Amino acid sequence: MRMYIRMHMVKVISLSNKAYMSLKALKRGDDSFSDVVLKLAEKEKKPSIMDLAGKWPGTKEDAIAFKKMIEQDRNKFKLREVHW
């Protein structure tokens, strides 16, 4: 007979009363304080460029035209030599 026990590790943190009350006010339904903290942390996370992968709403032809337009704009600028 095998038994698997899954334990969640917990950490004790100190909060001021004001911080505790703010977190408590954000709790909804059966949310735990951990749920509230994770939701707040997710909001603060900077978006990744990878989040945009596969999000192009246009056709392949639109993408090709867009790429050509970008290349044309880039060719308008001259690179200058920088001496250190």
pLDDT one-digit tens code per residue, 34-78: 999 999 998 888 888 888 888 888 898 998 999 999 999 988 887
Q: Which domain holds residue 36?
A: 15-46
Instruction: Report whether pLDDT(32) > 80.
Output: yes
Q: Does 9 map to a domain?
A: no
Closest to 39 (Cα-Cα) out of 56, 54, 27 = 27
Overall residue count recorded for the chain in this entry:
84
Q: Does 26 map to a domain?
A: yes
Q: Does 52 map to a domain?
A: no
Contact 33, 27 (CB under 8 A): yes
For the chain, the domain total comes to: 1
